[in-house]
Amino acid sequence: MKKSYIILFAALWLGVVRALGHGGVELGPNGGRVVEFSKDESLHGEVTLKDGRFHVALLDKALKPVALTEQSLVVTGGSRSKPEKPKVEREGNHFVFQAPKGDSYLLAFQFKDGPKAKSITARIEYDAAICSGCQNAEWLCKCPPAKPAKP
Ligand SMILES: [Zn+2]
């Protein structure tokens, strides 16, 4: 069981590495990182970090808030060798979970729009380092997509 979990996480990790290197991330109305929670851009999540906890809000096509009802979220994060699954709780209209330790790690979200919905996986790479271009943390970098990839 544990082994298959690690393999799954490695596969998720490879996915994000391939997707990076282009710079430019989508930021939401609250300055958070926007992730895709649908196959057709109709639902998004906005990830913000507040007092050591991540908040995930739901946004519709026009990036307007969506009420949290029957949706569910599973999070995997932390170091590659020892990924953790922080407990995801609900607070008002947000999912919230404790941020894994460290300044740079992968976060994988498995989102379900309802009990019978198919699970959608979205990933971001959290990086607390400050970008020299925009002075935002790298995971919330506002620089245009043309930014050259790091060596
Ligand atoms: Zn930047």
* pLDDT tens figures, 94-123: 999 999 999 999 999 999 999 999 999 999
If you search the block for the tokens 């196959």, which residue do you land on?
39
Reported confidence tier of residue 127, pLDDT bands at 50, 70, 90: very high
Residue 21 CA to ligand 1 centre (angstroms): 13
Q: What is the reported pLDDT for 144? A: 84
Instruction: Report the C-alpha gap between 98 and 108 in whole angstroms.
Output: 14
User: Is the separation of the CB atoms in 107 and 79 below 8 Å?
Assistant: no
Residue 126 CA to ligand 1 centre (angstroms): 14
Per-chain mean pLDDT for the chain: 86
Residue 150 CA to ligand 1 centre (angstroms): 12
The structural domains of the chain, ordered by start, are 2-140 (2.60.40)
Q: What is the reported pLDDT for 8? A: 57
Reported confidence tier of residue 69, pLDDT bands at 50, 70, 90: very high
Task: Give the pTM.
Answer: 0.81
Residue 144 CA to ligand 1 centre (angstroms): 8
